[in-house]
A and B are shown apart, each in its own frame.
Chain A
Amino acid sequence: MVPLSYLLGLSAAVFAIGVAGMLIRGNILVMFMSIELMLNAVNLAFIAFARNLGNMDGQVIVFFVMTVAAAEAAVGLALIISIFRNRETVHADQLTLLRW
């Protein structure tokens, strides 16, 4: 039996790594991958709690999260393709149209 705290600690670590990746990398595809990392960290936390409480609800949530992540990935990648077509770049520093 792995203690709950170990799993949560692992989840927190992966989440923090994902956050750091969001901020450090300039390539928006890699930023997107960091987002996926964060999502998976959360999934892990849900599974850990579900097992701890003996409740299947946690797994159902993970199921839905995965589905939504898939949809989100599809749309997000389509956007990235569209951006690349218009701007010829996928680096965040060059995509500052909202600047004052």
Chain B
Amino acid sequence: MSVEFSGLGLILLFPLLGVLFNVFLGARFGRGAVNLVGPGVMFLSFAAAIWAFVTLLTMPSGSALTLNLWDWIQSGDFHVDVILRVDALSGVMLMVVTGVGAFIHLYSVGYMAHDEDYARFFAYLNLFALSMLVLVLASSILLMFVGWEGVGLCSYLLIGFWYPNPEFARNGRKAFVVNRIGDAGFVLGMLTIIVTLARHGVWTVEFTEIGAHAAMFSTTAATAACLLLFLGATGKSAQIPLYVWLPDAMVGPTPVSALIHAATMVTAGVYMCARLHFLFVLAPDALNVVAIIGTLTALFAATIALVQPDIKRVLAYSTISQLGYMFLAVGSGAFAAGVFHLMTHAFFKGLLFLCAGSVIHAMSGEQDMNKMGALRRKLPITHATMLIATLAIVATPGFSGFFSKDLILQAAYQSGHFGLWLIGVITAGLTAFYMFRLIFMTFYGDSRVEQDKLHHVHESPPVMTIPLIVLAFFSIVGGWVGLPDGVLWGNAFVHFLEPAAGALHPTVAASTAVLSGVGTGAAAIGFVIAYLFYIRFPGLPMLLQWRAKGIYEVLLDKYYIDQIYDFIVTRPLFFISEKVFGKAVDSYAIDGFAVGTGLAVETSGEIARRAETGNVQHYALVYLLGVIGVVAYYLFLVMR
């Protein structure tokens, strides 16, 4: 049942006020005010979200809270209102976005303490929170698209935050353009849905109504819509082929990487698929495509992460890889499992990025892990929390990641995708390797820190470490809402999401214990190899690098994908813009036409004016010729 709940408006109102304050009054009121308002409005929004969520928990399963803000579009039969809706799915997303977001805002106070542009930063961050909340709370696909575009904009603004550096600005633009390609897919998918329903006389964009009329979709229509929408998801959630913007987005401030490119924005694609689960189940081919691309992306990104020296890049590719897992879950029909991993990932990946930021902050901006080492004495809290997050991401039993990743692999196996399951297991091993490689290179071993940076290495202030501790807590505990069936309260999370995201339909019976064992075993192997490479025999990586130089270079340069895209897409496009449209069409045709018209008038005028000699006799001659003509006409034709 749906209940009107005006508190939903507060959730959006606080970030909006934050934006307005930071934009117009931030510089005037100074750093202290901005540091208070920026995170402050997020915590207030979080409080409102808790209020809404708790209210939802007291209601029967399948209920929702709604709020109709205003009438938006009225065009004949097509009627769209701006409506916010909190059901089980958006409730979970809401808590993640506001909760994790609020703590990352708090962290940013410390991280950006030396930056002059603090007001603009928090303005953008609040604007992002507002857009993401619109995306999550939207009850119609059209409103979701508004939020979708908004987060894309904020991503561009925040990646290129330090825009005076041309490379940073370029990366921001790259993110936006690649996103746009995905957005085209999203729009076409949305239109397919609208048109398919309209053909049957139903004009709507509301999720609930699309779900109610899902039977009107033929398999072809559903497949088309889902594939197009998935294209949008590959853009937003960094899957093959549109993931290329995410690694380069790491040039933005680290809190941005944590919030946008780990915890929230990149998960929008998964959320969208879960929202439209009733459509995806009608298109098995689309689901297969989603699963395959997700798994391949997971493997692909993990292989690249094995050799990256930059600490943030490792985490970026790790994010792409984990998102691949989420889409594997979606493609296996286990939408709730994907959302579960989304939530735990927000905790531990957000934490990983914040810890990385802490390390970079301590290292005076150094991001190359080859120049780190033995930092665990100097950065105890950072080390401890990052270790917790690493244990979570490699799915150590008991930590949050274990329950969510396990559920995904289980769903993949049970829906019959054995090959994909196997790739998922291998990728889990790779994940363990590169994550522990990161930990060992950064915190253990011998110190390779440069001398001038060494004395500056210190732990971060509390305003930064408190969010780390909070997120570490949830990285452990956050998965305990989804225990395997039979243990304590079982999979409460998935059952809670069932009305909104569909139920799991296992087709293959399997022993969950065995499956978990295999997954954990793979992770353990990865850990052992990392230990051997970086603690026991530190010279081993260098040796392997030298022996397998070719493979190393390919992985280091990300399979040269960026160069390939540049060659196939960017260069031809620029060529067409500059040479064809710029030169031929613009310079020659259009300018030529404009200038040519003037030139034609001028030239004809110069030629014509020669008749104006000023000599009366010339005029008389012409007059005489006219007279001859008229007389001839009169005499020969009229006077027959």
Interface residues of A (CB under 8 A from B): 19, 22-23, 26, 28, 31, 92-93, 95-100
Shortest Cβ gap from A72 to chain B (Å): 16
Shortest Cβ gap from A42 to chain B (Å): 13
Interchain CB contact under 8 A, A22 and B612: no
Q: A23-B620, A23-B624 are in contact. Are A93 and B609 (CB under 8 A)?
A: no
Determine the chain B residues whose CB is within 8 A of the CB of A97 once the complex forms: 614
Interchain CB contact under 8 A, A100 and B616: no
Q: A19-B624, A23-B624 are in contact. Are A92 and B617 (CB under 8 A)?
A: yes
Interchain CB contact under 8 A, A96 and B620: no
Shortest Cβ gap from B456 to chain A (Å): 82
Asked if B610 is at the interface (CB within 8 A of a chain A CB), the reply is yes
Closest 8 CB pairs of A and B: A96-B614, A99-B614, A100-B609, A98-B614, A100-B612, A96-B615, A92-B617, A22-B620
Determine the chain A residues whose CB is within 8 A of the CB of B609 once the complex forms: 100
Interchain CB contact under 8 A, B613 and A23: no
Interchain CB contact under 8 A, B617 and A99: no
Interchain CB contact under 8 A, A22 and B617: yes
Determine the chain B residues whose CB is within 8 A of the CB of A23 once the complex forms: 617, 620-621, 624
| Bound complex: CA A31 to CA B616 (Å) | 10
Interface residues of B in 614-640 (CB under 8 A from A): 614-617, 620-621, 624
Shortest Cβ gap from B32 to chain A (Å): 76
Closest to B624 in A: A19
Main secondary structure of the interface of B (DSSP, over half): helix
A-B contact pairs, 28 of them (CB 8 A): A19-B624, A22-B617, A23-B617, A23-B620, A23-B621, A23-B624, A26-B617, A28-B616, A31-B616, A92-B615, A92-B616, A92-B617, A93-B615, A95-B614, A95-B615, A95-B616, A96-B613, A96-B614, A96-B615, A97-B614, A98-B612, A98-B614, A99-B612, A99-B613, A99-B614, A99-B615, A100-B612, A100-B614
| Bound complex: CA A28 to CA B616 (Å) | 10
Shortest Cβ gap from A15 to chain B (Å): 11
Determine the chain A residues whose CB is within 8 A of the CB of B621 once the complex forms: 23
Determine the chain B residues whose CB is within 8 A of the CB of A22 once the complex forms: 617, 620
Determine the chain A residues whose CB is within 8 A of the CB of B616 once the complex forms: 28, 31, 92, 95
Shortest Cβ gap from B201 to chain A (Å): 72
Determine the chain A residues whose CB is within 8 A of the CB of B617 once the complex forms: 22-23, 26, 31, 92
Shortest Cβ gap from A68 to chain B (Å): 20
Shortest Cβ gap from A20 to chain B (Å): 10
Shortest Cβ gap from A18 to chain B (Å): 11
Determine the chain B residues whose CB is within 8 A of the CB of A28 once the complex forms: 616
Contact with A along B595-615 (1 / 0, CB 8 A): 000000000000001101111
Closest to A20 in B: B624
Shortest Cβ gap from B619 to chain A (Å): 9
Interface centre among B610, B612, B613, B614 (most CB of A within 10 A): B614
| Bound complex: CA A28 to CA B615 (Å) | 11
Determine the chain B residues whose CB is within 8 A of the CB of A26 once the complex forms: 617
| Bound complex: CA A95 to CA B614 (Å) | 7
Q: A19-B624, A23-B621 are in contact. Are A100 and B610 (CB under 8 A)?
A: yes
Closest to A22 in B: B620
Shortest Cβ gap from A83 to chain B (Å): 12
Determine the chain A residues whose CB is within 8 A of the CB of B610 once the complex forms: 100
Closest to B609 in A: A100
Determine the chain B residues whose CB is within 8 A of the CB of A99 once the complex forms: 612-615
| Bound complex: CA A28 to CA B624 (Å) | 18
Determine the chain A residues whose CB is within 8 A of the CB of B612 once the complex forms: 98-100
Shortest Cβ gap from B534 to chain A (Å): 90
Interface contacts beyond A31-B617, A96-B614: sample of 20 additional A-B pairs, CB < 8 Å, sorted by A: A19-B624, A22-B620, A23-B617, A23-B620, A23-B621, A31-B616, A92-B617, A93-B615, A95-B614, A95-B615, A95-B616, A96-B613, A96-B615, A99-B612, A99-B613, A99-B614, A99-B615, A100-B609, A100-B612, A100-B614
Determine the chain A residues whose CB is within 8 A of the CB of B624 once the complex forms: 19, 23
